[in-house]
A = this chain, B = another copy of it.
Amino acid sequence: MDFIFVIDILGVVAFSISGVLTAMRKELDVFGILIIAFVTSVGGGTLRDVLIQSDVSWLTNMAYIYVIIGTTIFAIVFRNKLKYLRKSLFLFDTIGIGFYTVVGVEKAISAGLPPITCIAFGTMSACFGGVIRDILCNDIPVIFHKEIYATACIMGGFTYFLLDYFYLPQDLIFIISGSVVIAIRISAVVFKIKLPKVY
């Protein structure tokens, strides 16, 4: 439980900072920066919960709000030092999307959705915070044209159902599927792999 909580919070920290960085590049004021940090962190999960008519978790769980506000203040104050954290942030972010993908898949399973939809929901949980961030900042969402990001989540979701098919224990499925997301995302960045475009 504590382990899960730490991963969740690391993900929120990484997503918040990615929001702060995008918002500062767009010269938003401090309120704008906070909102962008917020939607980047919780946007994907919120969209998921609205679509499956589940309670939106950040409405009542204050931990998210405190972490996002704290991270935003931290990131603004130390904005000139953040480049030294670049690798840690990439790692947190990658662990975060691995975690959120699997959480999203499991929430969709609980809601009784079919496997392909569950994989889509896992991907949405992990990626759509960034999509909303980019829309609010008037950019085309970066995951639609620049990075292997969603693809890693989709592969992780497939892994989840593949392992489930062989009746592996739940915890193991959780860890392996999340790790697949992380491994693919890191490989894609290290080897500069991109999805093909079509003209």
Q: Which residues of A contact B (CB under 8 A)?
A: 23-24, 26-33, 35-36, 46, 50-53, 55-56, 58-60, 62, 65, 76, 79, 111-114, 116-117, 120, 131, 135-141, 143-146, 150-151, 194-199
Contacts and interface: CB of A to CB of B under 8 A. Distances in A.
A172 B111 CA distance: 37
Q: Kindly report how many copies of this chain are found in the complex they form together.
A: 3
A26 B23 CA distance: 23
A117 B107 CA distance: 23
Given A51-B46, A136-B131, A145 B32 contact: yes
A73 to B, nearest CB: 11
Contacts of A60: 112-114, 117
Given A65-B116, A198-B79, A29 B141 contact: no
